[in-house]
A and B are shown apart, each in its own frame.
Chain A
Amino acid sequence: MSVAKPHESAKQVNGWRARKFVADYGVYIALLLLLLAAAVLTPKLYEVNTIAVVMRQASQLGIVAIGQTLILLVAGLDLSIGGIFVMTSIVVADVTNGRDDLVIPAILIALALGALVGLGNGVLVTKRRVPPFVATLGMLVLVKGATQAYTRGVPGGFVPEVLGIVNQSWFVLSIPLLLWLGLNAVFMFVLGRTAYGRKVYAVGSNTEAARLSGISVDTIRISVYVLGSCLAVASGVVLTGYVGYVDRFIGTGLELDSIAAAIVGGTAFVGGRGGLLGTIAGVLLIQLLSTMALLMGLDIQVQFIIKGLVILGAVTLYSLANVEE
């Protein structure tokens, strides 16, 4: 109700500060606690090689999670990225057929196709008003079907050797990690310091108010889906180099993990709130959980249970912090 409470400014400021604290630092506190727990439970995690592997894997998830965060910020959702991974890996293998010099054209073609998928998602969601869940799920099935039709079920071609570079680390640095950090820097700047970023938040926060403020809401939403798909292609290239062959099930589960990472990191499912700083921590949190579970020799089922509990815990915390009185 909008009739105000007494001394609301003092009370509201306290509420705002408390909420902001949870939103801004909650996931980092969780991450810190997990790292402390790891020191006792899985000290092996702190070996340089392990850190390097964890960071490489976190980067694969992290790059998609950037796109997923952008899409969640406009109150959207992208389930189609699994299809984009498969498509990317097939395009890379098909175009290069193992030749290193064709890697760049292959990536460009994959990016173009990815952008088309994103455009499809965006147009379905905006112009046809299909709910994002349904639109991108449909697109996932469509893209997977198209790739299978193209390969007739037997993916051919070879992954060029040069892509194997994604599995190398220098100390803890690696190409995927640098790519992830670089893309984070770029998109943090875009979201926080540009007019485009402001519009993304505005569209997610209140679509009608954004339209009445003169923002081309549809353009912003479509562009975010296109960016998300292109980032998924980037992650798909890294994954293809990591796997080293064309895999029909490549990157399965990353779509849900990327959504989880963004949500755990404080990006609101309803849009307009959150950001990449949180998503980075969310990605690290999810990756650490998997790695620690692996190091402790826990079954995959147990890993899923732990992951699920962490996601539910985070979401509960945020919704408690977000209760509007």
Chain B
Amino acid sequence: MSDYILEMRNISKSFAGVQALKDVTIRCKPGQVYGLVGENGAGKSTLMKILAGAYKADAGEIIYKGEQREGATAGEVIDSGISIIYQELALVSQMSVAENIFLGREPRYALGVLNLRELHSRSAALLTRLGIRLDTRLPVSELTVAQRQLVEIAKALSQNADLIVMDEPSAILAGSELDQLFSIIESLVEQGVTIIYISHRLDEVFRIADEVTVLKDGELVETRPIDQLDRPTLVELMVGRPLDEIFPQTDHEQGELVMVAEHISSDTILEDASLELYAGEILGIAGMVGSGRTELARALFGADPLTSGEVRLVTNKGASWSNPAKAIESGLALVPEDRKSHGLFTSLSARINVTLPILSRITRMGVLQSQAEDEIVEAAKERLSIVMASADQEAQYLSGGNQQKLVLAKWLETNPTVVILDEPTRGVDVGAKFEIYKLMRQLNDRGIAIVMISSELPEVIGMSDRILVMNAGRIVGEFAHGEASEAGIIELATMADSGANHS
């Protein structure tokens, strides 16, 4: 019997003649954390779907717990002790925490009657093992995203998983939530569980992984122990070219004041937020998930009505607005956090996606002018190097990075003076991230002011001219460029008393 709990040997897989994975081998020992990194399209998900039994490999073999696995179904894979936690969580929101953890495997009495007492006591035991305090009767819809993630982990444990694959678990977590996730991973590892951790955030990989495997274009680039890697090397392995600097810098003077928000509150957690925004700057908004960052963005844009306070432009004759349509007219743009549900029209063509907010510019008497539209779409495609087969391709068939570029392209066409970006690089690979950063700098150079919300502190610190920190719906502090540190931001963002002001 080998030392490995899992060996995937020489795995190849192609879709419709296109090679998705070529001769990839990974080996995992029990009680270790394996980072799996690579750009979008590198083959991470295909490899994990083969492991999950969702796809069948064309060639290669899977040896799990010393036995060669043949054509296992997804259910058999779970029973064998492999759990995969997907990025988009698969919980039933109307059901309770306990019901979700044991969905389909609920403890029963005779005749299939549910044993609710045991359902809840076993769920509670699992949560305790993870160090989570959560009422198992609470419906999942009442939980924060971070808590849902933890419920997913509890579910994996309830399946007696020996191997847990986490697909970008941290994409939606920040600060203390991440710490909690990592301490859970550590305790799982101590219990002998093996973790395969897929992430775009390299800092996390360095923090928790014992060994890192890099995939690129469906091929294995390298597997290396983490202590023989540094960040630039890892990025270079992933991208295939060195990235001189992750965050492009420009030197510029502070521009004129363009927008002010005075004591704004909305019918959400957001309370009494004030800010000033200057031309050509990036104002970073940091804070934990749920601290009111997205609510601030929506309030600034008129998407949530204000219950008090005012937002107005200083330029453009001091325009103010009460709904998105008027905000757009005044020169605002919002790239929302949740691309699929708030930003993109997945069932519509790339063309329609790009020109939607500027219909008046490409229509005469309400009738579309194809030529004008074609020119705009073509220019946007060039400018952002969007990869698509044709402008008539439905947005849902584009990759995550290209979808994000499409949403950005749409807003750039409105010639905004203020652009609000809510998590602009979430779920986007390193290469595309760099392109988005460059684009933001180009906007700055044109005098456009950017409000950027991000959970990635290195990104906030690296890109922002000024940083506002939010905590419990309020803005609790401000850092100038060069003054901010991750520790400083986290301290403010997690402070229990949010009344204090720091500058």
Contact = CB atoms under 8 A, between A and B. Distances in A.
Interface of A: 1-16, 20, 193-196, 198-199, 201-202, 205-206, 208-216, 268, 272-273, 324
A25 to B, nearest CB: 16
Nearest to A197: B368
Nearest to B298: A212
B344 A268 contact: no
A205 B356 CA distance: 12
Contacts of B366: 194-196
Contact of A7 (B19, B344, B356): B19
Q: Tell which of B15, B45, B410 has the most Cβ of chain A within 10 Å.
A: B15
Contacts of A3: 40, 44-45, 87, 167-168, 198, 400, 427
B107 interface: no
A216 B401 CA distance: 29
Contacts, number: 147
A206 B394 CA distance: 13
A268 B356 contact: no
B410 to A, nearest CB: 7
A3 B355 CA distance: 26
A6 B345 contact: no
Contacts of B218: 6-7
Contacts of A272: 345, 347-348
B396 interface: yes
A260 B349 CA distance: 25
A199 B334 CA distance: 18
Given A13-B393, A15-B397, A324-B396, A4 B40 contact: yes
Contact of A202 (B41, B44, B88, B345): B345
Contacts of A208: 341-342
B159 interface: no
Nearest to A271: B347
10 contacts: A9-B389, A11-B16, A195-B360, A206-B342, A206-B345, A208-B342, A209-B336, A209-B342, A213-B328, A214-B327
A277 B14 CA distance: 36
Contacts of A5: 15, 20, 41, 43, 45-46
B345 A7 contact: no
Contacts of B42: 6
B356 A194 contact: no
Given A12-B398, A206-B345, A6 B46 contact: yes
A205 B363 contact: no
Contacts of A11: 15-16, 18, 20
B352 A201 contact: yes
A56 B174 CA distance: 64
B132 to A, nearest CB: 24
B34 to A, nearest CB: 16
Given A3-B44, A5-B15, A7-B20, A212 B87 contact: no
A211 B356 CA distance: 11
Contact of B45 (A1, A20, A210): A1
A73 B347 CA distance: 11
B352 to A, nearest CB: 6
B80 interface: no
Q: Tell which of B329, B342, B356 has the most Cβ of chain A within 10 Å.
A: B356
Q: Tell which of A198, A211, A214 has the most Cβ of chain B within 10 Å.
A: A214
Contact of B345 (A193, A209, A216): A209
Given A1-B86, A7-B18, A209-B341, 13 more contacts: A2-B88, A2-B340, A5-B43, A6-B43, A6-B218, A13-B389, A195-B363, A195-B367, A205-B345, A205-B347, A205-B348, A210-B345, A211-B324
A242 B329 CA distance: 50
Contacts of B344: 206, 209
Contact of B41 (A6, A193, A196): A6
B347 A212 contact: no
Nearest to A195: B359
A78 B21 CA distance: 49
